[in-house]
Structure 1
Amino acid sequence: MADWLQPALTYARSWLQFQHRVHDLPGLQCAIRGDGKVLLDLAIGKASLASGAPLTSDTRLRVASHSKTFTAFGVMKLVDQGRLRLDDKAGQHVTGLHPDTADATIAQLLSHSAGIIRDGTDAGQWQGRRDFLNEAELRAALADAPLIPANTRFKYSNHGFGLLGLIIEAVTGEPYATWMAREVVSPAGLAATMPDAPVPEGTPLADGHGNKLLLGKRFVVPMAQGTGALAAATGFVSTAKDLTALIAQLDPAAPASILSVGSRREMVRRHWKVLDSVIDRHYGLGTIHGGNGDWAWYGHSGVFPGCFSHTCIVPAAGLTLSVIINAPDVVPATLVEGLIEILKVFKANGAPAATLAPWTGRWWSMWGPVDLLAVGNKVIVAVPGQANPFTDASEIVEVKGNVGIVGKATGFTNYRETARLETDGSGKPVALWLGGIKLLPEAEAAAETGAKFQVAATT
């Protein structure tokens, strides 16, 4: 393990724990994998606020549209076996389709460029108003005309991936879930993954939870329902640890994968730019792409009622990251990108100098906390409540013992002022001074603030 990686993982854990706390999330699961090993396996909070069951790293959660990556693995395995071709027309394998949909290719379905409607004309399954479509209902919807011509632009479609599930069944002669479990899930080494619910009795499955604003408090959203003919688009049940094991196998340079190198390259190539979005995103074959340069990534996100997830690999760094939250308050992709920023900073600066050991930890004032992070020969003043804790971060340099200089800072803060650790008789830091601002450990800051200000009543 690189010398910078362990301190980066230590801070990643601390930052996620604070994000869980500041957003008052029910539960959060995270895994980071590198060199074929799990480097971080974290579970925080509750699997269910109703039962009080704790969330563990083995608790299963709904991972929704990660199912599209699983389905793409299945399709590409059939391509590797010579049983499918990417330029096959959908109508070669499934009858009853609208002629334009029948003319769409496998590659267009995988890349969401077939022009098919996203969720049909009644998407009530996403709000608990109806069950997910059965096969007859999906086939009836696929008999309608696509909304735009194929190969026009990226247009996300759960119905399109439902059609891919029907194609897998037609080619293999088996139910989608049966074939996927045997030919994708098992050989990929995923012990906690299933193509759809319900899960076997006794298997730990988290509840989903709604946001607190609508009813004034969280409500529980059961996640044990099956997804019918849309399992290929949204059915999978898994864990953050299993998701990193799968997504790591997308890397064409991965030493082991259930797919050929050629199939992996085609899956992770950027086929389409996602238009009309302020966030720079692209789509491959069952893969979402983001970032640039050495920290570019690909993987997928998932949104299920009461449960959000995101998993990606950063091939140049050799790291795969996954975050699952059983509530909708925070977008997991934002947390994963925050983790990537943490890894970037530690890698760029290196492991901390031994002399900076006292310059670590969380310090509080009535304004909230800051984190001191020693990296290389400097100390970064991070803000753990931010999506990127290093946005406009100050840096303490020229550290000698317990004193340093704020050598980098925005013009609104403490540039070139003194930073100082105040210590007790044993040399333990008990306060941090940034210029004229004094920060304390959380308990002391809470006591001081509580003594000076009236605590507002809550409703």
Structure 2
Amino acid sequence: MPADDAIPHALEYADRWLAYRRWRLRIPGVQAAVRIGGELVLDTAHGVADEATGEALTSAHRFRIASHSKALAAIVAMRLVDEGRLRLDDEAQQHAPALRGTDAGRLLVRELLSHGGGAVRDGDDVGFWHLAGPFPDHDGLLAIARSGVERIPASVEFKYSNVGFGLLGLVVEGATGVPYADAFARLLAEPLGLAATAADLNDGDSPLVTGHSALHSATERTALGSPAARALAAATGAVSTAAELTDALRTVVDADGRLLSAAARRRMRQQHWSTTGRDGGAGGYGLGLMLREVDGRTWAGHGGAWTGQATRTLVDAERDVVVSVLTNAIDGPAEELAVGLARLVHAALEGTDAPIERARSFEGSFASVWGRVDVVELGGRLLGVSPTAADPMAAVDELEPLDDDRVRIRAATGMGSGHETAIAERGADGRVARWQGAWRMDAVEAVPA
């Protein structure tokens, strides 16, 4: 069993780690939340909402969460399945008569939910993704459908499709008799009390962040527009905060029966396709949910890429843990940050009841001309974490306290100072001011000014 305060202590460090990573990677802003057992245990924001104005980012700022919309649309659809108003094997045209006579109309609900329909990703003109025109409206989506959406036969392989989820939005409208945004509010946002979450851009009370361009071809970022997604709202239109998003996606975990039956939750998380993530890692896709492995556990969830924003949420359905990271730059490493945050939480949850008082007395951030290390106790272990690395738990040094001022380094690799001793020199406040011996570093601020 980890110590009683293992999770709060780990999250205190995780917050500093996020702040440093934002500074290190020059991301305008990062908003993050962690929910465990339904309790919001971290709700934080660092940086700015808009680089041009310098407006500070807060936890109340809303983001365009882009393809997270698919997970939320899937929850809405599965509520209709639970109520008997929709079946996974229904053809789209049964609920959206305007699709009759098209290949889109013959697609099954489960094929739309799992990206198994073989449908075109965005249509034959993707200018709206480049802010060259508005997103398709209802008539525009029907025009895409009538021109033919099939690019490969259905149920052959995974083929990501925003158009497919746009068609799902039409199915939801047909099954409920109301516009998709209203169905979203009635079936998801309102029952959960999510005041900042909506199916598409709206005039909510909470401020909206500014999206920023990437640094792949320029040295400065520019502000990017954020139009309504209109008929593609079910695919990419939603707005939310990290805190509310963790609550919405918690509804797929084993312990949460607020919206969905246990069977619906399991079906959503069941892997239908194997996929490869943008980071090259192996993953999968269920019904509106991305799947990936972190520390030997399968996490569900979704990511999102919007004009100027990148976001990611991870859900450990068995342990009832939800992690969400939202960034307001199109090249923001949301996936990397969310996985790192999940790994820090995992380290605390998997910890032991080893004595921690002495271990924590060595904690702090330290640097030299050669690099930087955070010394932190996580789950009963004293670790030397490199905050400059993308993964905070990759190649960490474990430190064994020998007495009040010395630790033995159990180096992660043979290239380090394994089996050697680092000596802590403490200041008047008792905290470590510098390291000597096998390490030579001075204490620094957790995030540079």
TM-score (norm 1): 0.91
Q: Give the match for residue 229 of structure 1.
A: 231
CA distance in 2, matches of 1:182, 1:114: 27
Q: Give the match for residue 269 of structure 1.
A: 270
Aligned partner letter, 1:21 = W
**Kindly tell me: are residues 407 and 50 of structure 1, through their superposed partners in 2, closer, same or farther at Cα, counting changes over 3 Å?**
closer
Q: Tell me if the contact between 2:228 and 2:237 (Cα under 8 Å) persists in the aligned partners.
A: yes
C-alpha displacement of 1:377: 5.8
C-alpha displacement of 1:426: 5.8
Q: Tell me if the contact between 1:378 and 1:398 (Cα under 8 Å) persists in the aligned partners.
A: no
Q: Tell me if the contact between 1:423 and 1:430 (Cα under 8 Å) persists in the aligned partners.
A: yes
1:437-456 matches, within 5 Å, as 437-442=439-444
CA distance in 1, matches of 2:412, 2:84: 59
C-alpha displacement of 1:30: 0.4
CA distance in 1, matches of 2:339, 2:183: 34
Aligned partner letter, 2:224 = V
Report the more deviating stretch, 391-400 or 279-288. Answer: 391-400
For CA contacts below 8 A with separation 6 or more, give which structure has more relative contact order.
2
Say whether 1:77 aligns with 2:79: yes
CA distance in 1, matches of 2:87, 2:419: 63
1:90-169 matches, within 5 Å, as 90-94=92-96, 95-96=98-99, 99-143=102-146, 144-169=148-173
**Kindly tell me: are residues 124 and 417 of structure 1, through their superposed partners in 2, closer, same or farther at Cα, counting changes over 3 Å?**
same
C-alpha displacement of 1:276: 8.7
1:260-299 matches, within 5 Å, as 260-274=261-275, 278-291=280-293, 295-299=297-301
1:189-208 matches, within 5 Å, as 189-200=193-204, 202-208=205-211
Say whether 1:212 aligns with 2:215: yes
- Count the aligned residue pairs: 440
Q: Tell me if the contact between 2:364 and 2:432 (Cα under 8 Å) persists in the aligned partners.
A: no
C-alpha displacement of 1:67: 0.7
1:66 corresponds, among 40, 65, 68, to 68
CA distance in 2, matches of 1:276, 1:67: 18
C-alpha displacement of 1:407: 2.6
Secondary structure, aligned partner of 2:393: coil
CA distance in 1, matches of 2:419, 2:276: 44
C-alpha displacement of 1:243: 0.5
Q: Tell me if the contact between 1:353 and 1:375 (Cα under 8 Å) persists in the aligned partners.
A: no
Report the more deviating stretch, 377-386 or 96-105. Answer: 96-105
Aligned partner letter, 1:64 = A
Note the residue ranges of structure 1 that are not aligned, 5 or more in a row.
447-459
Residues 248-296 of structure 1, C-alpha deviation per residue, up to 9 Å, x if partnerless? 1111332x32112221111111111115973111111110011167632
CA distance in 2, matches of 1:425, 1:38: 36
C-alpha displacement of 1:203: 3.4
Residues 383-413 of structure 1, C-alpha deviation per residue, up to 9 Å, x if partnerless? 0121212222222225211012113341111
Q: Tell me if the contact between 2:254 and 2:318 (Cα under 8 Å) persists in the aligned partners.
A: no
CA distance in 2, matches of 1:330, 1:347: 27
CA distance in 2, matches of 1:9, 1:373: 11
RMSD: 2.0
CA distance in 1, matches of 2:395, 2:277: 28
C-alpha displacement of 1:3: 3.6
Q: Tell me if the contact between 1:3 and 1:350 (Cα under 8 Å) persists in the aligned partners.
A: no
Q: Tell me if the contact between 1:433 and 1:439 (Cα under 8 Å) persists in the aligned partners.
A: yes
Q: Tell me if the contact between 1:250 and 1:257 (Cα under 8 Å) persists in the aligned partners.
A: no
C-alpha displacement of 1:79: 1.2
Note the residue ranges of structure 2 that are not aligned, 5 or more in a row.
none
CA distance in 1, matches of 2:80, 2:381: 52
CA distance in 2, matches of 1:212, 1:311: 24
TM-score (norm 2): 0.93
